[in-house]
Structures are given as structure tokens and as C-alpha cells.
Amino acid sequence: MRPEHQGVSHKLIETGHAVPIDDPKWSKMREELGLDPLPPTVHSYPKAVKEIQHIIKQTGFDKLVNYKESKKDGKT
């Protein structure tokens, strides 16, 4: 498991997106294009992120990608 791919997995667990809005410039760009600053995805529905995390817990994916341990080590 490459650390880059592990990082992508951690972003999915934390946000529901493998490529999330992680800088205000992306929301600004959306607004410049006439879009809402956040898309109508998990980004606009905190409950939806919980649903993804529920799935992750059920399958044990968090353990597979060493989620908690990596966070503790500051690798995320």
C-alpha cells in the first residue's frame, strides 16, 4: 500500500471525497462560476459523511488503511 494511496483513503474516510475541497480557493472558484460554494455532495450533508464512516467501520477499511494509527503518527 503506497502512502499516497493510503492518504487518499484517509481523505475518503474523513470527508467522503477522495479529492475534497481542502482549500477555500476551490469554493471561491465555484462561486465565480455561478455555483454554490459547496457541491450538493457529502460536503453539504454532514450526516452523509457519517454514513460513509459507518460503512467503513462495518467493513474494517479503517483498520486496513491504518487510519487511527496514521492519524496518531501525524501521517495524514
Cα(44)–Cα(58) distance, integer angstroms? 24
Could you say which residues in the range 32-61 bind another protein, by CB under 8 A? Answer: 32-35, 39-45, 47-48, 51-52, 54-56, 58-59, 61
# residues near another protein by CB under 8 A: 39
In single-letter form, the type of residue at position 43 comes to: H
Cα(6)–Cα(40) distance, integer angstroms? 26
Q: Which residues contact another protein by CB under 8 A?
A: 1-2, 4-5, 8-9, 12, 16-21, 26, 29-30, 32-35, 39-45, 47-48, 51-52, 54-56, 58-59, 61, 64-65
